[in-house]
Amino acid sequence: MKTILASAATIIALSGTAFAEGDATKGEKDFKKCKSCHAIVSPDGDVIFKGGKTGPNLYGIVGRAAGTMEGFKYGASIVAAGEAGTVWDADNLAAYIKDPKGFLKEATGDSKAKSKMTFKWGKPENIIAFLATFSAEMPAADAAEEAPAEAAEGESTASE
């Protein structure tokens, strides 16, 4: 298991993604504080990081709409944030982890928004880099690099 995580961390570190400011290896260590509430379990049931069930499974969190993990009962505010278009990218995750209640107030525009997550983490970059290793979502930096190439291909096809 540690070999898989180390390999994933290396790939992310070398890819120059938006998560490069965090260290996934350090994030794995930091995540141990999160495991009292969260687990990381793949869709086929492989338990990657055994943890609590107070919070949702964080497998594939990066790129997922807020409040949409199937089978988990979310609070109304985080569901509202997801319905308003909040997607868990590096910036949103960082803001949420630093101040869950404040993030939801801003994301929903509801001054009475609440979060079930009471834990705050001042420097979540490493945890986010670690969580990104369990996401099928293409990091933003890679998507930006591919978009011009796709546009150029479409232009050459149109001119032929």
The residues, any chain, with a CB within 8 Å of residue 27's CB and separated by 6 or more, are 125, 126, 127, 128, 129, 130, 131
Structure tokens at 151: 């546009």
CATH number belonging to domain 2-159: 1.10.760.10
pLDDT band per the 50, 70, 90 thresholds, residue 17: very low
All structural domains of the chain with their residue ranges: 2-159
Stated pTM of the model:
0.73
pLDDT band per the 50, 70, 90 thresholds, residue 135: confident
User: pLDDT tens-digit profile of 45-67?
Assistant: 999 999 999 999 999 999 999 99
C-beta separation of 101 from 115 below 8 A: yes
Is the confidence at residue 151, as pLDDT, over 50?
A: no
User: pLDDT tens-digit profile of 109-119?
Assistant: 999 999 999 99
For the segment 103-132, the average pLDDT, to the nearest whole number, is 96
Q: What is the mean pLDDT of the chain?
A: 80
CA 76 – CA 114 distance, rounded (Å): 8
User: pLDDT tens-digit profile of 19-49?
Assistant: 447 999 999 999 999 999 999 999 999 999 9
Is the confidence at residue 7, as pLDDT, over 70?
A: no
What pLDDT score does 137 carry?
Answer: 52
